[in-house]
Structure 1
Amino acid sequence: MTAAPWTTVARREIVTKLTDRTFLLSTFGLVVIIAGVLGVQAWLGSRTTEYAVVTSSAAAHRMAEKVETVAEASGDNLQVTLQAAAGDGVAKAAIEDGTADVWLREDGDGWVLTGREDVAAELRSAATTAIRDATLDANAEAAGTTVDALTRGSEVRTSVLDGDADRAGVAKAVGFALAMLFYLASFTFGLALANSVVEEKASRIVEIITTKIAVRQLLAGKVAGNLVLAFAQMALFVAVGLVGLTFTDYDRFLPAISGAVGWFVVFFVVGFGLLACLWAVAGALATRTEDVQTTSTPLTMLTLGVFFAALLTTGTTKVVLSFVPPFSAILMPMRVLEGTASWWHALVALAILVGAAALVVRAAARLYQRSLLQTQGRLTVRQAWSTPE
């Protein structure tokens, strides 16, 4: 069975791009950057910070042991090592020569942490908690009661209306990454597609090609080829990101992120296909490579608008735009990730995006077909629309 002509065009687009050194180097470079950023995050999250605490009395040493226990139970990769000094002078000398980081000692009714230049915030927090708890236990025992009895009813819990703060932070970071991927794919592949069209048009090669296959088949092949490439590149970046995320402290969010990424993939395919058709039209309207900058300006602004909408919109504006094509291609998956949109919201937005894409494809096919073989000069959309086939 003979393959459809558009598949031959699509295969040619893919092979041409895969043999382009610039494309391969840029893809590899982005993979290295993504892996590097996540690698640094994983290293910072797993690094253990160690502090040496010196004491000069038995009571201070017992309190330092409690600080050690609290620090190691904090979950902040904090480790405390203890040193016993023969006296205050020896302990102070240990701080001055860097043998110890902090000197813990009694001072009247309280305790003092002495560092050479500063006392680390995480160590100060652990010491404050340990000393407070130990003091409360001692005072409660002296009063013939318990800490639980003294503190009953004083517990303070926190809650937020918009969900978990860590999840919100992760959602924002992942949303930014997905928006950036969509923008890069739409702009880089779209611009390359427009330039490819105008180069074939300027060299008159397209006149030969269109004697063998229909113009609509040529458009379909170019869009499909670039869609496959953009999707493969995006999938590579996302896969590296998800694998890298497993080595960080945010791996618990992977199930939620994976679900949102699934929606992003579907929206990406439809949204990119819509924009790719318009980029092909931008190339067909031009006669020279220099003209592409003019014919693609509205499309460039639209692509930037989608990107900045993903970064800047909030509240009602974000909700409304998440149903408006092509903004919905990014905003709806972001809202799913944030937990502010349910699955049926996503289905409604996808149905609207598919309907809009179908209309755009029909209009783009007409514009492309009527302007591709026009070589007398740059065309406007109105001129191309009214040009006879």
Structure 2
Amino acid sequence: MTTTPLTRRPSSADHEDASTGPRSTDAAWRIVAGREIMVKLRDRNFIISTLTTIAIFIVAFGVSFLLGGDDGEKRIAVVSGDAVTIVEQTNARADAADGEDTDSSATAGAPTVRLETEQVADPAAAEQAVRDGDVDAALLGEQGAWTLVGSDGVDSDIAAAVSATVAADALERNAAAAGTTVADLTAGSIVEERLLEADGADDEGIQVIAGFVFVFLFYMAAILFGYAIANSVVEEKQSRIVEILAAAIPLRQLLVGKVVGATALALGQMVIFVAIGLIGLSFTDYATLLPSVVGAAVWYLVLFVIGFVALACLFAVAGAMATRAEDVQTTTSPLLTVIMVVFFGGLFLQDTWQVIGSYVPIMSTVTMPIRLVAGTASWWEPAVATVITLVTAAVIIRIAERVYRRSIMQTGRKLTYREALSLKE
């Protein structure tokens, strides 16, 4: 038994508008887009996934902020005034190492841990404070015979910091006793360090983080909204609702509405995620790199919108080629391959391959922003990548629109891509 598509009969309203011409359906895509947005905003899975991603970002930056704000401060129990002096010297060395005096021999390699002293009456009280967990360690003894006391082990940061201070103090005292200076004793023993790219480590770290975030967000949006479009199309096709819609509005308008609705939602998500990321970044050790990250994020959003529109059209085609929901997994498999190539390319491409990937449409969505963060891309390169992506997307959209219109009314069986491209209108 075959079913013929429904056709719309002229209504009295059409005759009433005869004087001014046929009623325009050019704005029908707005209604479709609005419906797609409202349906998605009421979808529990969409809401949960969005809130979960936001929570992940907040927790990640919260942990980073807490760890970064600790400043390595530890509590140490002391008994004598000499022990207090050692702790104060340790804190002074930490301050000098964190400040502008990092090139001096006195602070070269000095640990940056800070120690908060807890004055106790005697060694027994100090040991009890360690057992009770009130302090991280205790410094007992006297000049020339210091002992660090821990519970089941001495904190490595405290041991390194105190040992460096005690060694420097002993060196000064021994030099004074020998009638010389520390500078004379250590002359020629200091190996200086000079970095050709002082910010290289920070750039590499933020490149890894930014690259992962860009790739993760793109992958999540492509999968979440892409499959949502494909499933929506095949559901309307399987239930024959599309035949009613085709009798009321042009299929081109239906496709545009679905793509615009999905793109608006995806872009809204991206803006929220990127904003949270940039705000969180300002509270981390990478805050100084915020200007370069902001520029990369803006280009990411631009390239994302263009690339996502093309992908959304292709997912709509994949849905139109299917006849039931079970077919979507097969018809979307080439698109999933493209998404995975972008995913792994964004994570692992380096050097020349990364430069090439930053000009490849869709892949440039993640690789170009990564290069911008790393500072390996000139100002004009993202503009060129955008133009290439825009031209490619226009071609893809044009072809996808034709295939969609030809495939959506075919209800006999699942179509292959070759069959869909060869269909006549």
Same-fold call, TM > 0.5? yes
Which of 125, 131, 137 lines up with 1:102 in the alignment?
A: 137
Given that residues 33 and 259 in structure 2 are in contact (C-alpha distance below 8 angstroms), is that contact kept between their aligned partners in structure 1?
yes
Equivalent position SS for 2:152: coil
Farther off after superposition, 196-205 or 157-166: 157-166
Given that residues 183 and 303 in structure 1 are in contact (C-alpha distance below 8 angstroms), is that contact kept between their aligned partners in structure 2?
yes
Given that residues 237 and 408 in structure 2 are in contact (C-alpha distance below 8 angstroms), is that contact kept between their aligned partners in structure 1?
yes
Q: Compute the displacement of 1:40 (Å).
A: 2.1
Matched, 1:314 2:341: no
How does 1:20-31 map onto structure 2 within 5 Å?
20-31=43-54
Q: Partner amino acid for 1:104?
A: L
Which of 275, 288, 299 lines up with 2:335 in the alignment?
A: 299
Matched, 1:206 2:230: no
Q: Compute the displacement of 1:100 (Å).
A: 5.0
How does 1:165-244 map onto structure 2 within 5 Å?
165-244=201-280
Tell me the TM-score normalized by structure 2. Answer: 0.82
What is the Cα-based RMSD across aligned positions, in Å? 2.8
Aligned residues: 387
Given that residues 90 and 115 in structure 2 are in contact (C-alpha distance below 8 angstroms), is that contact kept between their aligned partners in structure 1?
no
Q: Partner amino acid for 1:167?
A: D
Q: Partner amino acid for 1:383?
A: E
Equivalent position SS for 2:247: coil
Q: Compute the displacement of 1:135 (Å).
A: 3.6
Farther off after superposition, 92-101 or 235-244: 92-101
How does 1:149-164 map onto structure 2 within 5 Å?
154-159=190-195, 163-164=199-200
Larger Rg: 2
Given that residues 181 and 234 in structure 1 are in contact (C-alpha distance below 8 angstroms), is that contact kept between their aligned partners in structure 2?
yes
Q: Compute the displacement of 1:178 (Å).
A: 1.4
CA displacement, residues 36-71 of structure 1 (integer Å, 9 cap, x when unaligned): 221222222223633213245x54443333124335
How does 1:1-389 map onto structure 2 within 5 Å?
4-47=27-70, 49-56=73-80, 59-71=82-94, 78-83=114-119, 86=122, 95=130, 101-104=136-139, 111-142=146-177, 146-148=181-183, 154-159=190-195, 163-389=199-425
Given that residues 68 and 81 in structure 1 are in contact (C-alpha distance below 8 angstroms), is that contact kept between their aligned partners in structure 2?
no
Equivalent position SS for 2:352: helix
Counterparts of 2:276 and 2:226 in 1: how far apart (Å)? 24
Counterparts of 1:14 and 1:272 in 2: how far apart (Å)? 16
Counterparts of 1:121 and 1:269 in 2: how far apart (Å)? 50
Q: Compute the displacement of 1:329 (Å).
A: 1.3
Given that residues 72 and 80 in structure 1 are in contact (C-alpha distance below 8 angstroms), is that contact kept between their aligned partners in structure 2?
no
Counterparts of 2:283 and 2:300 in 1: how far apart (Å)? 23
Q: Partner amino acid for 2:76?
A: A
Percent identity of the aligned residues?
44
Q: Structure 1 pair 162/310, CA: closer, same or farther in 2 (3 Å)?
A: farther
Given that residues 7 and 221 in structure 1 are in contact (C-alpha distance below 8 angstroms), is that contact kept between their aligned partners in structure 2?
yes
CA displacement, residues 185-212 of structure 1 (integer Å, 9 cap, x when unaligned): 0111000000111111111211221223
Farther off after superposition, 2-11 or 142-151: 142-151
CA displacement, residues 144-173 of structure 1 (integer Å, 9 cap, x when unaligned): 555456656635224266952123212211
Given that residues 179 and 330 in structure 1 are in contact (C-alpha distance below 8 angstroms), is that contact kept between their aligned partners in structure 2?
yes
Given that residues 252 and 405 in structure 2 are in contact (C-alpha distance below 8 angstroms), is that contact kept between their aligned partners in structure 1?
yes
Counterparts of 2:118 and 2:187 in 1: how far apart (Å)? 34
Tell me the TM-score normalized by structure 1. Answer: 0.89
